[in-house]
């Protein structure tokens, strides 16, 4: 047995949730592949094969375990270039079709690659082709819907991205060796709460520990009035995605190490993209063990890490929405920025009907802000220079010249942001941290960060942060939370 095989087998045998989603185990004696947290009897080491992805295990001929359900495994937080490219393609699967080649060409163009280079990178990182990755993602989502909801098989086929029921049935039978209806009969009662004609409930797993209270507190202070609502137990928001509108609610299920997502069935046609956005918003792919190992080695952060090893960096449901909020947060308190953002949503957002009185509008779109007059925005109490900045930003995003989404390259996006009038380094890093999901962003100009480091200059703060790479975004959140006045203290001189 090789050292790598032994280490992976020991991790599998331990059942430690920190390894969940890091690798998958194919058991040659059964033809089934599992998550490393599976509660089934542990097979002999000689019968185990290890894969970095579910797609790799399925390509090798293994079927997903019905007990541990590989489709629920959290993803890995991407750090290096190859992983980012592969993850970018995986994230985009839910937003457009790949089979025709158009989607693949679009992702390749966004990354300044040829489609041949993209295929080669995905093959190297995940062990499968882009088409195989698409098929695995769609089948795993379909399997989750069959198990957790009462949607019809036809509805599930389209919700998981298949163009027809026949293609879905053929793919499902070919990959798993049984028809979808047989899997549904074999499954127990819906595990995540079932569904109704108006509501679905699905489960999204994470690697514990998870600071649910902390992430809700962060989002509550910055909630966009009319669009978002945060209570002590749940996060709610309106959704307008791909021409479909509705609302979602996210709750915590700590006993399952998961979040439960309640969503209006009107959003079923955009389910893959919606779930991807929620995984990014709640940072469900984080590796708290690796982050704590790196940051905990620094004496300044060791106490914060020990106190809160489950800290997450909140992402963004929509990158443009987050960027507007970041511009409004320059040199004002968090509370003041939230008030201005609420006025902006009321004036430029689209009305949405929901069963929750506090959720009444969809967030303003780039297209709407791009055609607004600076005088209209300034009339809301927003400084005219920031109004112009938001219009220029919206114009760039609407035209496709600026992509504020996970997987976009920070070294491409941040210079474009800095070239816009009214956006400085702090704002660019904050957008990279949350909208791009870049784990190594570091707003060295932040007053609260420099205060926590002993009142040092931005240059000294930058040098001090090198030991925290590649997790400086998480270090920044720890520094913010370690100050009692973090919410009301400054960006370069104001709020976050």
Q: How many helices, marked H, and strands, marked E, lie in the chain?
A: 23, 11
Structure tokens at 489: 């203290």
Residue 404, number of CB atoms within 10 A of its CB: 24
Q: In 61-178, where does DSSP find H-type helix?
A: 81-92, 102-110, 115-126, 130-148, 153-159, 165-176
Q: How far apart are alpha carbons 340 and 364 in whole angstroms?
A: 13
69, 74, 154, 215, 422 from 192: Cα distances, Å: 13, 16, 20, 22, 45
Cis peptide before 287 (omega within 30 of 0): no
Q: How far apart are alpha carbons 192 and 147 in whole angstroms?
A: 9
Cis peptide before 429 (omega within 30 of 0): no
Catalytic machinery residues: 34, 446
Looking at the DSSP bridge assignments, the partners of residue 25 are 34, 50
DSSP letter (8 states) at residue 39 = -
Whose CA is closest to 232, among 253, 248, 205, 251? 251
Whose CA is closest to 271, among 157, 187, 191? 157
Whose CA is closest to 49, among 92, 109, 4? 4
Q: How far apart are alpha carbons 130 and 107 in whole angstroms?
A: 11
């Amino acid at each position: 047995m090789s050292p790598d095989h032994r280490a992976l087998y020991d991790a599998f045998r331990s059942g430690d949730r920190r390894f969940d989603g890091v690798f998958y185990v194919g058991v040659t004696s059964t033809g089934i592949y599992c998550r490393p947290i599976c509660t089934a009897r542990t097979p002999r080491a000689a019968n185990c094969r290890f894969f970095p992805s579910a797609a790799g295990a399925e390509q090798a001929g293994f079927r997903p375990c019905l007990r541990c359900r590989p489709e629920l495994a959290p993803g890995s937080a991407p750090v290096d270039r190859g992983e980012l490219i592969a993850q970018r393609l995986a994230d985009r699967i839910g937003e457009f079709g790949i089979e025709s080649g158009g989607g693949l060409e679009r992702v390749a163009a966004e990354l300044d690659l040829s489609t041949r280079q993209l295929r080669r990178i995905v093959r190297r990182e995940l062990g499968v082709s882009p088409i195989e990755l698409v098929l695995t993602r769609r089948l795993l989502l379909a399997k989750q819907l069959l198990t957790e909801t009462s949607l019809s098989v036809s509805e599930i086929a389209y919700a998981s991205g298949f163009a027809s029921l026949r293609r879905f049935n053929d793919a499902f039978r070919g990959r798993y060796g049984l028809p979808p209806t047989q899997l549904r009969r074999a499954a127990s009662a819906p595990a995540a709460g079932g569904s109704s004609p108006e509501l679905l409930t699905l489960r999204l797993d994470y690697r514990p520990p998870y600071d649910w209270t902390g992430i809700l507190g962060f989002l509550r202070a910055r909630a966009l009035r009319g669009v978002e609502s945060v209570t002590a137990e749940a996060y709610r928001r309106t959704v307008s995605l791909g021409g479909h509108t509705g609302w979602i609610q996210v709750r915590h299920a700590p006993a399952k190490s998961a979040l439960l997502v309640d969503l209006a069935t009107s959003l079923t046609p955009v389910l893959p993209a919606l779930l991807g956005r929620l995984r990014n918003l709640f940072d469900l792919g984080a590796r708290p063990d690796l982050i704590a190992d790196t940051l905990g080695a620094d004496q300044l952060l060791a106490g914060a890490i020990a106190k809160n090893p489950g800290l997450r960096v909140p992402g963004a449901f929509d990158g443009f929405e987050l960027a507007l909020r970041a511009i409004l947060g320059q040199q004002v308190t968090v509370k003041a920025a939230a008030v201005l953002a609420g006025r902006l949503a009321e004036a430029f957002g689209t009305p949405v009907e929901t069963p929750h009185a506090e959720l009444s509008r969809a967030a303003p779109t780039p297209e709407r802000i791009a055609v607004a007059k600076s005088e209209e925005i300034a009339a809301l109490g927003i400084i005219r220079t920031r109004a112009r900045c938001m219009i220029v930003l919206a114009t760039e995003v609407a035209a496709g010249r600026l992509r504020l989404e996970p997987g976009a390259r920070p070294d491409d996006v941040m210079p474009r942001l800095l070239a816009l009038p009214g956006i400085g380094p702090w704002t660019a890093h904050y957008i990279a941290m949350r909208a791009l999901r870049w784990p190594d962003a570091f707003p060295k100009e932040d007053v609260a960060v420099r205060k926590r480091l002993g009142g040092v200059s931005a240059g000294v703060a930058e040098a001090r942060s090198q030991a925290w790479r590649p997790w400086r975004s998480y270090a920044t959140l720890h520094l913010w939370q370690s100050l009692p006045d973090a919410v009301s203290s400054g960006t370069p001189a104001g709020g976050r």
